[in-house]
Amino acid sequence: MYVGRDMTELTMMPKTEWKDSELAFFHHSMQQVVPYLNSEGQSLHRKIIEEIERRGGLNRNEADYTHGTKVSYD
């Protein structure tokens, strides 16, 4: 379950200030409903994708015994 800032709060701040887990969660959520998004939703999803790409993706650089190499948003 996602525990963090909601979309209302996040839309009031630049994507550069979003945490990786927030980007990952909302990207995954929006990806599931892409066919149903209106133009505003599509624009927001595109900006999230662009920020993820700007950061070099969502993969962790190193794994250790407590974390894998994939960002978890749970």
Residue 1 lies in a domain: no
Amino acid at 47: K
Does residue 67 lie within any of the structural domains? Answer: no
In a domain, 51, yes or no: yes
**Confidence at residue 74, expressed as pLDDT on a 0 to 100 scale:** 60
Instruction: Read off the pLDDT of residues 1-44 as tens digits, 9 standing for 90 and up.
Output: 778 899 999 999 999 999 988 999 999 999 999 999 999 999 99
Q: Does residue 60 sit within a domain?
A: no
Task: Give residue 1's pLDDT.
Answer: 72
Indicate the number of domains in the chain: 1
Residue 54 tokens read as 């700007």
Q: Is residue 66 part of a domain?
A: no
Q: Find where tokens 């190499």 sit.
A: 69
> Does residue 30 belong to any structural domain of this protein?
yes
Note the Cα 60 to chain centre separation in Å.
14
Among positive and negative, which fits the CA dihedral 19, 25, 31, 34?
negative
Are 21 and 73 in contact by the 8 Å Cβ rule? The answer is yes
In which domain, by residue range, is 11 found?
7-55
Higher-pLDDT residue of 58 and 73 is 58
Q: How far apart, in whole angstroms, are the C-alpha atoms of residue 11 and residue 62?
A: 30
On whether residue 63 sits in a domain, the answer given is: no
For position 44, what pLDDT does the model report? 97
The pTM assigned to this predicted structure is 0.78
